[in-house]
């Protein structure tokens, strides 16, 4: 499994336990929209850009 997969799992688990309620929904929506924007601009998700080694 690639490094960004581990990061995605940690972000998902952390958001379930730490950010439940309206604040969690807001943080989740903002992260989702940012990830969509980064992916449309670079072709990679936020975690892929941060944790995968350049080719």
**Half-sphere exposure of residue 46, counting CA atoms within 13 Å on the CB side?**
11
pLDDT of residue 5: 66
Distance of alpha carbon 43 from its chain centroid, rounded? 14
Instruction: Quote the pTM value.
Output: 0.60
**Contacts with 15 (C-beta within 8 Å, 6 or more apart), sequence order:** 24, 27, 28, 31
- The pLDDT score that the predictor gives to residue 37 is 93
Each residue's pLDDT expressed in tens, for the chain with a length of 55 residues? 556 567 777 777 666 666 667 777 777 778 888 988 999 999 998 888 888 777 6
């Amino acid at each position: 499994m690639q490094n960004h997969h581990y990061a995605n799992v940690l972000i998902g688990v952390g958001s379930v336990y730490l950010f439940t309620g309206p604040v969690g929904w807001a943080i989740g929506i903002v992260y989702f929209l940012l990830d969509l924007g980064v992916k449309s601009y670079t072709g990679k998700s936020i975690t892929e850009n941060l944790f995968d080694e350049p080719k």
